[in-house]
Amino acid sequence: MLYFSIRGTWFAKCRVIFCVNMSKPILLLTGCNGLLGQKLLATLPSSLPYTVVAISKKSPQVPLPTNVVYCQLDLTHTVVVEELFENLRPALVLHTAALTLPDKSEQNQEEAYLQNVTVVESLCRLANLHHSFFVQLSTDFVFDGTAMLLTEETNPNPINYYGQTKYLAEEIVKNTPISWAIVRTCLVFGVLAQPSRSNILLWVIRNLQAGNPINVVADQLRTPTLAEDLAKGCWQVVLAKATGVWHIAGNELMSPYQFALKVAEVFELDATLISPTNAQEFKEIATRPLLTGFNTNKAQELLHFMPTPIEDALRFCKQMIDNTQQVI
Ligand SMILES: NC(=O)c1ccc[n+]([C@@H]2O[C@H](COP(=O)([O-])OP(=O)(O)OC[C@H]3O[C@@H](n4cnc5c(N)ncnc54)[C@H](OP(=O)(O)O)[C@@H]3O)[C@@H](O)[C@H]2O)c1
């Protein structure tokens, strides 16, 4: 492991583990240990005209592609982040890091504000200073749940604290004089060797494999998104430097209950363990919007984004688990 300091002040906090040719412009990828971050690294386009510097708070959770520079730092340490920008002058920032748990955000509002709003404020200020193109990841939880198959034109109206912080972040991005893109997505699922946290697919598989009965909400509607599809959509935005808001998601509207039944079918697990419930009965700390799900026509037409049909996506995930004999 190579400890590397661009300037002495962030020596202790920032560890660059692989050194690569820095002759290409820099793309700063935040949240690379997360579900999306890991998939972005796994789907790096060969034509990418950037050197990727990947940031996360913990040490790298999976082996990194050899051409990626890893930098372990906490984005809330503004001075360190300023030093990083000064030294790397990134041409593009792909900001996926966030406090992504709605219930934790509801209970720890100061932390959620710091991670999801203050960090974006400081990154946008630095992107403005260094003329970086800025890509912000956002969520269907910026909407209130009164309409489904939302387009990029639908007005946000968040109903929980996580949604509020992500909406505030969107507004900061839009109101900074930089070139920007906002990528909104919905109910992301996927298989990871080292999951940063669980997701609906892993939760259903784990419980059904263990023979645990589960109640799954049947009156919320979403467009579940394969993490690899989201990563590819993000790369399409990056490669095209496509400004504006983009809805990148699956294109089949279904409830989490219907999704769980499909998981049971594809993974040949006991579907009788799955019972439908409704949002009123299935109490969660943060209120979830009832109806969301995205219309992805804009991304399909302009970026040639093509979401994988759900059953194919689940078969792909099963293949991944079978191939790696992964324990879920
Ligand atoms: N997953 C979904 O269903 C979903 C739905 C809609 C929108 N989104 C949005 O998509 C984006 C990616 O989500 P995800 O599911 O990939 O999230 P995730 O799995 O929770 O990963 C987020 C990563 O961000 C990193 N991080 C958090 N705070 C940090 C900090 N202060 N400094 C450095 N790194 C930090 C964490 O790194 P360490 O692990 O190293 O601590 C974590 O691995 C988020 O912006 C989220 O709001 C996700």
Tell me if 31 CB under 6 Å of ligand 1: yes
The one-letter amino acid code at 289 reads: P
Tell me if 76 CB under 6 Å of ligand 1: yes
How does 255-278 read in b/e, with b if 16+ C-beta sit within 10 Å? Answer: bbbbbbbbbbebbebeeebbebee
Question: What is the position in ligand 1's atom list of the atom closest to the CA of 197?
Answer: 19
Cβ atoms of 223 and 249 within 8 Å: the answer is yes
C-alpha of residue 35 to centroid of ligand 1, in Å: 7
Cβ atoms of 327 and 248 within 8 Å: the answer is no
* 246 phi/psi in degrees, rounded to 5: -130, 130
Dist. CA 112–CA 104, nearest whole Å: 8
Q: Which residues, including other chains, have CB under 8 Å from residue 158's CB and lie 6 or more apart?
A: 141, 142, 143, 144, 164, 166, 167
Q: Whose alpha carbon is nearest atom 2 of ligand 1?
A: 188
Domains of the chain in start order, with CATH, are 8-189+225-251+292-308 (3.40.50.720)
Tell me if 139 CB under 6 Å of ligand 1: yes
C-alpha of residue 273 to centroid of ligand 1, in Å: 30
C-alpha of residue 100 to centroid of ligand 1, in Å: 6
| Helical pair 256-266 and 200-209, crossing angle rounded to 10 deg | 60
Tell me if 33 CB under 6 Å of ligand 1: yes
Q: Whose alpha carbon is nearest atom 46 of ligand 1?
A: 100
pLDDT tens track for 253-276: 999 999 999 999 999 999 999 999
Tell me if 57 CB under 6 Å of ligand 1: yes
Q: Give the mean pLDDT of 136-145.
A: 98
What value does the mean pLDDT of the chain take? 92
Tell me if 36 CB under 6 Å of ligand 1: yes
Judge whether residue 16 has pLDDT over 50.
no
The pLDDT of residue 196: 75
Judge whether residue 286 has pLDDT over 60.
yes
Question: What is the position in ligand 1's atom list of the atom closest to the CA of 187?
Answer: 3
pLDDT tens track for 186-239: 999 999 987 778 999 999 999 999 999 999 999 999 999 999 999 999 999 999
The half-sphere exposure of 161 on its side-chain side, counting CA atoms within 13 A, is 19
Q: Whose alpha carbon is nearest atom 6 of ligand 1?
A: 139
Dist. CA 54–CA 74, nearest whole Å: 12
Structure tokens at 29: 């990828």
Three-state secondary structure call for residue 111: helix
Tell me if 37 CB under 6 Å of ligand 1: yes
pLDDT tens track for 145-180: 999 999 999 999 999 999 999 999 999 999 999 999
Cβ atoms of 176 and 121 within 8 Å: the answer is no
Tell me if 142 CB under 6 Å of ligand 1: no
Dist. CA 225–CA 138, nearest whole Å: 14
Structure tokens at 134: 């800025």
Question: What is the position in ligand 1's atom list of the atom closest to the CA of 58?
Answer: 40
Judge whether residue 117 has pLDDT over 60.
yes
Judge whether residue 20 has pLDDT over 90.
no
